[in-house]
Every structure is written in C-alpha cells, then in structure tokens.
Amino acid sequence: MGRRTLAQSIQINDGIARGLLERLSEQGMVTVGDTGVKLSQDGKKRLRNFLTTLAVKKVLDLGKTDLVPGSAAVGIHVAQRYRADITGLLQRDEAVKAGANGSITLAVKNSRLVVPPDDKDAADLSPKENLRLKNLFKPADNDLLIIGFASDQHRAMAGALAAVLSLSSKTLHD
C-alpha cells in the first residue's frame, strides 16, 4: 500500500504518515519500497503476537452484511472474552472514534449468537447472516464476534479493531 493511500485510509495527513512509516521502518516492522509499504516478517510476527494477547482468533472481510445493509463490514472473532457487563455500546463508540460508522457486538451463549445486553437472538434479526457468521467463525460459548461497519473496508477494519481494543484496555494498561 502506498503512503498516500494509507494516509487517506486512516484519515491522517501525508506528513504524519511519512513520519510514522519512517519510525516503523527504523524499528524493522515495515519495509518501504517502490510498490509501497509492507509489514516485514518481524512486523507480522509482532502483530500476530499482539492479536494473540487480545484473544483474536480470526479477522475476516465480510463484504456486505444483512445486519447493516449498504456498508462494508469486517468481523473479528475474540475467544472467551464475553462478560455480563458487555453491552456493545463502548465498542460501538470506539469504532466510531476510529472512523467507522459503528460496530455490532455478538456474544455466543448456549451455542446461540446473541446481541448483548438483552440477548436478542441474531437468528431472529437475520437467519441467513446468523448462519453465515457461525460457519465463517465457528465460535464457541463465551466468544465474541465484533463486526465493524463503514463506507469502506479500511474504516470498517479500523472500527472493528478499536472495538476489540476496548475489550482489553484494562488488561493492556495493567
């Protein structure tokens, strides 16, 4: 990906993107070439380790989804992170701050995908999408699916990741 494309995707100016990429390059996390910027092997390893600490099992571009018609969607499967105090509101707010239109938090309870806090069954909202998400992610009880949605896939990804980070912010700061 080129620097300008990256800057536009994450809504920062070109100069800031250049500075950030220089620092990441100095740390060996990215390689910068004629075709753009790529994660280095070390960068990929560090990203995998970070996602593992967040209990992320899978990240998928969902394309369009019946849950939020007309938006691009990215889903992130987070293992064993459901808690009774999760409402999805904090996750939605963090997704919006990151540039997405929002996020949907789904929990797995008794083998059903439900929307916290009232546990509305996802199968009632969209039977087709419920089945698709279960088949794509194969989540277990107490797992979460965070779906970021936006006008484009990059913003949907940023929103989904911000929502996932909000689940673990206490853990990351302890």
Residue 34: the pLDDT is: 80
Q: Is the pLDDT of residue 169 over 60?
A: no
Q: Is the pLDDT of residue 82 over 80?
A: yes
The CATH T-level fold of domain 54-173 is: Gyrase A; domain 2 (3.30.1360)
Joined tokens for residue 120: 């509305």
d(CA 64, CA 162) in angstroms, rounded, equals 20
Write out pLDDT tens, residues 111-122. 999 999 999 999
Say if CB 66 and CB 76 are below 8 A apart: no
Question: Which of 32-36, 59-63, 81-85, 135-139 has the least mean pLDDT?
Answer: 32-36
Say if CB 42 and CB 127 are below 8 A apart: no
Say if CB 75 and CB 96 are below 8 A apart: no
Residue 171: the pLDDT is: 42
Q: What is the DSSP letter of 151?
A: S
Residue 172: the pLDDT is: 43
Q: Is the pLDDT of residue 132 over 50?
A: yes
Q: Give the angle subtended at the CA of 166 by the CAs of 161 and 172, to the nearest 5°.
A: 100
Average pLDDT score over residue span 140-150: 96
Q: What is the chain's length?
A: 174
Q: Is the pLDDT of residue 149 over 70?
A: yes
Write out pLDDT tens, residues 30-50. 888 888 888 899 999 998 999
The 8 Å CB, 24+ separation contacts for 6-9 are: 6/36, 6/37, 9/152, 9/154, 9/155, 9/158
CATH code 3.30.1360.30 region(s) in the chain: 54-173
Average pLDDT score over residue span 94-101: 93
Q: Where do we find the tokens 């916290």?
A: 116
pTM of the predicted model as reported, rounded to 2 decimal places = 0.85
